[in-house]
Amino acid sequence: MKEHIIVRIVSKFFAPFIQLYALYVIAHGDLGPGGGFQGGVILGASMILYVIAFGLDEGRKRLSQKVSDVFMSTGALIYAGIGIFCILAGGAYLEYAELPLGSHHLASHLGMYGIEIGVGITVAFVMITIFFETAQNK
């Protein structure tokens, strides 16, 4: 898409705004509509848009396979890890209220927040990986 300068400029310009919106959706997850999955998809879409405009090689330069593999696992590990912390803190699996973070209410809020972040990371990088895998003709 080298000749489509408008597409490239616009997609480059939009990427940070899309990402910011994605972070908003993820952060909003425990309070209203939105959440880790939706936000993660938007976050992944920003990268996918970039790759569509600039090509696979340029995209891989920005985000290598290795890095996205690591993030894919990390996100889900954050989720599972918070669950385990709840057990260690004396509750059931994913019983956020038991987390030692001040009041039960605040602990519930932060626990759920952490979960949304984990889900968001995994979903975003899984989206990107799926896109790369289907786009390259091997």
C-beta of 44: minimal distance to other proteins in Å? 18
Q: Does 130 bind other proteins (CB under 8 A)?
A: no
Token pair of 109 as six digits = 């809020």
Q: Does 83 bind other proteins (CB under 8 A)?
A: yes
Q: Where are the alpha helices (DSSP H) in 28-64?
A: 36-54, 56-62
CB atoms within 10 A of CB 97: 17
Q: Does 94 bind other proteins (CB under 8 A)?
A: yes
Q: Does 92 bind other proteins (CB under 8 A)?
A: yes
C-beta of 110: minimal distance to other proteins in Å? 15
Distance CA 113, CA 78 (A): 11
Q: How many CA atoms lie within 13 A of 81 on its CB side?
A: 11
Give the residues lining the site for other proteins (CB under 8 A).
69-70, 73-74, 76-77, 80-81, 83-84, 86-87, 90-98
